Every structure is written in C-alpha cells, then in structure tokens.
Amino acid sequence: MATRVSDGGAADRQRAAQRAVTVALVRDMRRLRRLIIPSRLQASVPDWITAVRALVGEYGSGSASLAADFYEAQRVAAQVTGRFTVPLLDPPPDDQVDNSLRWATKDLWPRDPEDPATTAAQKLPLDTRLDAAEQKAEAVTQKLVTDQGRGTVQNAVRQDRQAVAWARSAALGACAFCRMLAIRGPVFKQDTVDFRAHSGCHCMAVPVFKGQKFELSDKAKEWERLYQQYAEGHSGDQLRLFRRAIAEHG
C-alpha cells in the first residue's frame, strides 16, 4: 500500500524547528551589534562582519542537520528500500556572506548631503541607519542559514535513487508567490537548480519517494481553489490576480 506525504504535518514541524534556529541566530546577532562603533565605522564594521559570518556558519550547520534528520525520517515513513546517507550542504562561501552584509550596511557610511548621488536613506541620522542595517542584516543572514536546510533536502533528492521529486511547503501566512509554487505539489525534480526563496521566506522542501502519494494540506487546497477560480488561465497575470484573490478572499 502506497504511503502518503503532504506539504503539512511533518513539514510544518520542520518549519517550526528551522524558525527556532533563525530566532536564536537573530538573538546572537543583536548581541554583536556592540561591535559596531559609530565613531569607528571603517574599523569596526569589518570586525562585525567577521563575527556574523561565524554565526552564519554555526547556525547554517544546525539548519542543515535538522533538514537531514527530517529527510531521513521522511524516508523511513515512505518505507523505501536501500540505505542512504544525507549529505549536508556546504556553508555559503565567505564572499557571499560578506557581500550580503556589505549590502546591508551600505547606507552607514557618511555621505555629503548635498551630493546628488546621496540617497534619502543615507541622509537619515546614524542611529536610524544602524537600525535599518541591523534589520537588513538579520533578513539576509536568516535566508543564508535556512537555505542550507532547504538545499540539504534538495541535494538529497538529487542523489537518492529512491526519491523522485520534492514539493514546496509554504507557511500559512506565506506570500502569493510561495503559495502559488506550493500548490503545484511534487513537480520539482532532481535537476531543479534552486529553491527560489526570498528574504523572510519560511518555505520548506518536502521529499517525495517512489510509490508515495502526495496530497496537498487543507491550507494548500484552499490556495489551489482560489488560484483556479481567480487566476488560472490568465497568462502573464496569474500572480497579480492570485495575490488579489488572497487579499480579498484568503
């Protein structure tokens, strides 16, 4: 008898576990803000970037380990044969982390307010710019960390002969883009290049194995109904119409 798998249930529990990782990440990042000394930005911001990079490596490994445990549990539940060891995704390159953090802090540097190239954000008080930089840095690092978990599942599907695809599991309050991908079910194959996640995204990848029957969760079935009623068939305009349908009827 075929086993069943869904974008809810175990996937929701995995999402909660991954969110706990990013909550701890943000907590520790906020403790590191003291490393940024306003009077010594040129010297102190690089030290802060180095410290945050270490956190990304630490919590990214935790995210990957959680994802590996999730994958193995899903494999057992699918009752497939053969052994498979889930390879953990490598952490992002240092340059990728550094560039993300430099982008987050780009408005901190003093600019001539009379210079036409100076943006409105760069004219704000330094404390305001520090708060904005902190929020941007938290967003990009949360994505870098959670991507390690998502990538671990995706890579496992690619290498495991018993896996046939993965489905996207979106959170209840996910954006229209994520919901639209989630209702497609297990259409993402081993050769899918990336997860297409955005900052603040809490979507998970759910592995589907040979002989399994995939079913949308109740929340995803409702998204599917809205999509079919209000957006399907409107080529090039589906996302806008789906977003409006969620706002009006979701």
DSSP string, 184-205: T-S-B-TT-------TT---EE
Question: Is residue 233 very low, low, confident or very high in pLDDT (cuts 50, 70, 90)?
Answer: confident
What per-residue string of b and e applies to 164-180 under the rule 16 or more CB within 10 Å gives b? bbbbbbbbeebbbbbbb
128-137: b or e for each residue (b if 16 or more CB lie within 10 Å)? ebbebbbebb
H/E stretch holding 87 reads none
pLDDT of residue 115 exceeding 90: no
Per-residue pLDDT, averaged over 128-143, amounts to 96
Verdict on whether the full-model pTM lies above 0.85: yes
Considering only 61-70, 110-119, 208-217, 239-248, which range has the smallest mean pLDDT? Answer: 110-119
pLDDT at 16 exceeding the cut of 70: yes
Average pLDDT over residues 129-141: 96
- As a residue count, the chain comes to 250
- pLDDT tens digits, 44-77: 999 999 999 999 999 999 999 999 999 999 999 9
Nearest to 109, CA basis, from 97, 100, 121: 121
Q: What pLDDT shows up at residue 119?
A: 85
The predicted pLDDT at position 110 comes to 80
- Kind of pairing, strands 4-6 and 204-209? unpaired
Model confidence at 118, in pLDDT bands (50, 70, 90)?
Answer: confident
